[in-house]
Chain A
Amino acid sequence: MTQDSTSKSRQEPRDLRIGLFVTCLVDLMRPSIGFAAVKLLEDAGCRVEAPSQTCCGQPAFNSGDRATTRAIAEQVIEAFRGYDYVVAPSGSCAGMIKAHYPELFDDDPNWRPKAEELAARTYELTSFLVDVLGVTKVGAAFEGEVTYHDSCSGLRELGVKSQPRTLLSSVQGLTLVEMTDSDVCCGFGGTFAVKYGDISAAIVEAKEKNIEATGAPTLLAGDLGCLMNMAGKLTRDGKPVAVRHVAEVLAGMTDEPPIGAAKPQAAT
């Protein structure tokens, strides 16, 4: 039997039970990203649940507050027990669970194995789709050029680089225009962006130039923190670039206004 690449990429429903780690930013700021992630996972044949959750604890972890981080991490470990996989639409939060939870419980023989077990089945969304499920195609269409920013944690802690590009290349009508230094930090860094606002602003300014230089009217990335930073800079400077999470485009859910843009006024 011969198989062409199209039939090879088609997913059989696997009935995997996925715990969606929504991430606090998506939960609070832009739930549509979470629903786009749900659609992508369900389209691939997974069953998705979203257990009660708050945050991965990264803000406390990066501020040196280990006690609070551990309390939050224990909560996450408990909440996501028993799922086949835990998937987050964020390299940063998935990286926190995958790379840092085991380190956090380094000296705790009770929690360390649980942290490692959770880490082993936790994935960033696009890498889960491509690396675990073998998805190479999505059914979406998006007309025009986009450019893609590689968020740092996903890129360097989890090796997320080719996966979003693989999926984007299957979106009908979409052309990816790479920016210079797509793998260089946008200057977000969580509380860094507030505590060292001037430095953060200088870094995002350099990013803005690289985005603009592509001429693409749409900027995508896989982490809402970085996206809010870049969108905030672009809107402040009046640059007409629409900023979205990559999942929104991959799921074909681009009805919501872009990040930082106003809702179109209702007709009545």
Chain B
Amino acid sequence: MSVHSTSPQFKENAARALSDTQLQRALGNVKQGFIDKRRKAVENLPEFEALRDSARDIKNHTLRHLDLYLEAYEAKVKASGGQVHFARDAEEARAIVLSLCREANARTVTKGKSMIAEEIGINEHLEANGVTPIETDLGEYIIQLRHELPSHIIAPAVHLNASQVEQDFRRVHKDLDPNRDLSQPVQLLTEARTVLRERFLAADVGITGANFLVAETGTSVIVTNEGNGDLTQILPKTHIVLASIEKVVPTLEDVSQILRVLARSATGQEMSVYTTFSTGPRRSSDADGPENYHVVLIDNGRSAMLGTSFEEMLRCIRCGACMNHCPIYHAVGGHAYGWVYPGPMGAVLTPSLIGVDQAGHLPNASTFCGRCESVCPVRIPLPKLMRHWRDREFEHHLSPATFRSGLAFWGFFAKRPALYRLVTRAAMASLGWAGRSKGRFNWLPLAKGWTKSRDFPAPQGETFQARWKRERGNNA
């Protein structure tokens, strides 16, 4: 674990998010845009469901033979003149990246968007050691200025509006004309472009993530819409690829299969604007490219998930569709989850990576509506995996004591039908009587969470089983 987590304070985070009107407005946009665009893209591709199956199968196959494919990948990277470094955890990964930056005498490092970079907290580490990292994806650039975590895995600044960004730009870009007009989003974009253009040219090292690593060819693949990733990896002398081990797939053909579901699921595009393949450093015949090409392959908890019920989570291709369709995410946004990965995928992955004792709320804060699973391009059964975390919490007595005793009390009766009928018959009769004049309760003991903002409908009074017996005798 690296980045500080506020996942244990999920409830407090959520409460804050719910009362943040600016955030709530921004979240409205997630609901509308992403969902409609994905739906249209899917409707236009009749074989989409079959492609989801094949994406799942490719990932499953790779995970079953992960060691072989990683070895094959490493051999190909070496053959093309690059180097592969294995990092067991975040700390090792940070140390490797820092030493590579030092080898390159780097003062500034440009960065493409990478969730694993967030996960290992590379920016803070570089900064603390005198190397300045500069995010070049617009959203990442903005949240870097604000010292925030991304609130969405493909739209990191989705929680912000343009006027907040304007304020940040005015605060940070001090050498620009203070009277400039930044009222239009395109002006913000142009300003970011201009500022970043100089950074691209000055950078000594470029760090990118990878959407895929191809075992067959030793290629890393990034998928972007702004073109910043290409400038990040081509202009500096040294290119460092950060990737977690499950990013490897066997062949280029596999990549092209999965690409067909990735952008459609993420943004509703058929393909993202740039899909860039890089294999090794610049060859003498190449027009451009880095002199040094390094890949840091990071485990950081993944191999421990192999062979467990959470292995399926390693299929994730980070498209963001699960959070785009999640009612909880829509209500509280990404920061409430308290660590790098929000939404349903975060609710499963975060406990694996930072411990369920830290992130126990996340798999519990779900209605199991199943919409995430229904859109996941690699068919990860997210609700089932969240439930597996609840199983573990229950086993290890991590769920709250009052909740456990309530459950045990209910379970005692639910396992004894005759007693249950007797008790519920009496209870419902009195509850029905108490609620008879209004038909509902606006307060009930032990259900404050419900009755704070909703009434609780009163029972009709007689139970079904009592009335059935009265009207029909036994079963007739």
Which chain A residues have a beta carbon within 8 Å of chain B's beta carbons? 22, 24, 26-32, 34-35, 49-55, 57, 59-66, 68, 71-72, 75, 79, 103, 152-153, 156-157, 183-185, 187-206, 228-229, 231-233, 235-236, 256-257, 259-263
Contact = CB atoms under 8 A, between A and B. Distances in A.
10 contacts: A26-B464, A28-B463, A31-B467, A35-B464, A63-B390, A68-B415, A75-B415, A184-B369, A196-B364, A203-B330
B457 A197 contact: no
Interface of B is mostly: helix
A61 to B, nearest CB: 7
B13 to A, nearest CB: 11
Nearest to A26: B464
Contact of B450 (A71, A75, A197): A197
A185 B465 CA distance: 30
Contacts of B15: 198
B454 A201 contact: yes
B390 A72 contact: no
Contact of A31 (B14, B374, B394, B462): B462
Contacts of B391: 64, 66
Contacts of B411: 60, 65, 68, 71-72
A256 B328 CA distance: 34
Contacts of A22: 464-465
B407 A235 contact: no
Nearest to A184: B327
Contacts of A54: 413-417, 420
B414 A236 contact: no
Interface of B: 11, 14-15, 18, 327-328, 330-332, 364-371, 373-374, 384, 387, 389-395, 399, 403, 407-408, 410-411, 413-418, 420-421, 424, 427-428, 436-440, 442, 446-450, 452-460, 462-465, 467-468, 475-476
A68 B414 contact: yes
Contacts of B467: 31, 35
A43 to B, nearest CB: 16
Contacts of B439: 235, 257, 260-263
A193 B389 CA distance: 19
Given A31-B460, A195-B403, A201 B370 contact: no
B367 A187 contact: yes
Contacts of A260: 439-440, 455, 457-458
B442 A202 contact: no
Nearest to A194: B449
Contacts, number: 220
A32 B370 contact: no
A50 B475 contact: yes
Contacts of A62: 368, 387, 390
Contacts of B327: 184-185, 187, 203, 206
B475 A198 contact: no
Given A75-B415, A201-B453, A32 B460 contact: yes
Contact of B475 (A24, A51, A263): A51
Nearest to A208: B454
B368 A189 contact: yes
Nearest to A261: B439
B457 A231 contact: yes
A202 B439 CA distance: 24
Contact of B468 (A24, A29, A50, A257): A50
Closest 3 CB pairs of A and B: A197-B449, A189-B367, A64-B394
A29 B438 contact: no
A105 B132 CA distance: 55
Contacts of B442: 236
A132 to B, nearest CB: 22
Nearest to B449: A197
Given A64-B390, A68-B411, A157 B370 contact: yes
A228 B457 contact: yes
A204 B454 contact: yes
A261 to B, nearest CB: 5
A149 to B, nearest CB: 12
Nearest to B466: A31
B440 A156 contact: no
B331 A27 contact: no
A199 B370 contact: no
A233 to B, nearest CB: 5
Contact of B331 (A31, A59, A202): A202
A193 B426 CA distance: 25
Given A63-B403, A66-B391, A260-B457, A152 B465 contact: no
Contacts of A229: 454
Contact of A189 (B369, B447, B460): B369
A199 B367 CA distance: 10
A28 B459 contact: yes
A59 B452 contact: no
Contacts of B456: 228, 232
A243 B197 CA distance: 59
A34 B464 contact: yes
Contacts of A35: 464, 467
Given A27-B465, A29-B460, A185-B327, A236 B392 contact: no
B428 A28 contact: yes
B457 A201 contact: no
Given A188-B367, A262-B438, A262-B439, A65 B394 contact: yes
